[in-house]
Amino acid sequence: MRTATGTRMGEAALLRLLAWLSPAFPTGGFAWSQGVEAAVETGDITNEASLLVWLTDVLCHGAGRADAIILRHAHAAHNDAAALSVVAEFARAVQPARERLAETLGQGNAFALAAAPWGAANIVGLWDLPYPVAVGALAGAHAIAAGATCAGFLQAMAANMISAAVRLVPLGQSAGLRVQAALEPVFLAVATQTTGAELDDIGGICWRADLAAMRHETQYTRLFRS
């Protein structure tokens, strides 16, 4: 039988994740597209099917997998400032483009400031925190499971890119929601597969996504910052 305390703690963890990863949480995620804007311009993303393929690849073989591994290491290092700084330095170094670095740092710094009401003493005051580092460290400090945090983080990442694509392609809201639903097994799979992964395991084969992030820097007409 579950105790009342155990049930309450589980519900508290869920509420915190829902708050921190909500589009309403002031990280400024709406301003970034992770190269989706450039991918739409070049015709890599033209419809619902191509968006699903693009996001699946990014999650499984690109930034999604890398951020999940980084998040897990930040989660484990949440109470060790020196170790957390090493993870943050690594996360900054592996960004493939200037705008992607600006994106993860902008959202990470905003997250750390916004999370202050939850007693985020372990990340408040640490500047230039990549976004998955900030989320992972705070979740670790609150004893929220790393796997659940990873899955939620990946879903939020995809949701932001889907929102950008809905406006840019354009796609209808229903198409965007179908893509979101289709990606649920991917979120869970990547969260599971990154269990025990080392920082040295980070790598990717999503070169078109990386090139899109680079190309966006000189794109003539832009609605998003990446």
Residue 119 has what pLDDT?
A: 86
Per-residue DSSP letters for 132-143?
Answer: HHHHHHHHHHTT
pTM, 2 dp: 0.94
What residue segments make up the domains of the chain, in order of their start? 29-215
Q: Which CATH class is domain 29-215?
A: mainly alpha
Residue 192 has what pLDDT?
A: 97
Residue 221 has what pLDDT?
A: 87
Residue 186 has what pLDDT?
A: 98
| Residue ranges of the chain whose pLDDT lies below 70 | 1-9, 124-125
Q: In Å, how far are 10, 12, 41 from 55, measured between CA atoms?
A: 30, 30, 16
Task: List, for residues 150-190, the tens digit of each pLDDT value.
Answer: 999 999 999 999 999 999 999 999 999 999 999 999 999 99
Angle at 184 (CA atoms; ends 141, 90), nearest 5 degrees: 45
Task: List, for residues 117-141, the tens digit of each pLDDT value.
Answer: 998 778 866 778 999 999 999 999 9
Residue 9 has what pLDDT?
A: 52
Strand (E) or helix (H) holding 214: helix 207-216
